[in-house]
Structure 1
Amino acid sequence: MIRVNCFAQIKDAAHKSDVIESAKKLTEASLKHAGNIAYDIFTSETREDVALICETWKDAEALKAHMATEEFKLYVGNMEKYATMKIEQFEF
């Protein structure tokens, strides 16, 4: 399985809701993708400008297919307008 931790550092508090809304829409769509094991959003209790999307995928093929979808491109693009994204990926 593959775990992806996608951290979003929100650049301006005025756009936090835009980032979270895009993350929610991406999560809703991603949970339906083949090979998805888990997909969730977390917000930091200590840093108001940080959110995390935590994803688990069956294998690299499932993750690659997910990243090629139109909704992935749309919602990640929307988040990147208002947040700096950092990705951690590992197999387990």
Structure 2
Amino acid sequence: MILIHAKMFVNPTKEEDFLVEIQHLITASQEESGNVSYDLFKDTVEASTYLMVENWKDLEAVDAHNKSSHFTEFVEKVPNYLIRPLDVKVFNAEPIK
């Protein structure tokens, strides 16, 4: 399993528009065949900061997601909403049995 954390530092004046824009990405990503989960969380300490937590079946699923139109379209638009660069971390995760 592949786990991705994408931290986004949103311009407070554009936060409402950002939340509207990201909904399509979330919904479409959750419908992808290799997706386990795809959830957006708001930071409770740092204002206007969000963490996308993605869980994918394997690297092939991540690759397909990264090539999808909903992802590439969002990537083109997201810099308009951010005040700092995206902070993305990728992990190779396995469930503990």
1:64-75 to structure 2, matched below 5 A, reads 64-75=63-74
Distance 2:24 2:2 in 1: 21
TM-score norm. by structure 2 comes to 0.87
Secondary structure at the residue paired with 1:78? helix
Aligned match of 1:3? 3
**Percent of aligned pairs with the same residue?**
26
Q: 1:47, CA displacement in angstroms?
A: 1.4
Distance 2:88 2:4 in 1: 7
Structure 1 gaps, min length 5: none
Instruction: Quote the RMSD (CA, aligned, Å).
Output: 1.1
Counterpart of 1:34, as a letter, is: S
TM-score norm. by structure 1 comes to 0.91
Distance 2:63 2:21 in 1: 20
Counterpart of 1:69, as a letter, is: S
The number of aligned residues is 91
Instruction: Check whether the contact 1:23–1:53 (CA below 8 A) recurs between aligned residues.
Output: no
Q: 1:24, CA displacement in angstroms?
A: 1.8
Secondary structure at the residue paired with 1:65? helix
Structure 2 gaps, min length 5: none
**Dislocated runs of 4+, deviation >6 Å:** none
Aligned match of 2:92? 91
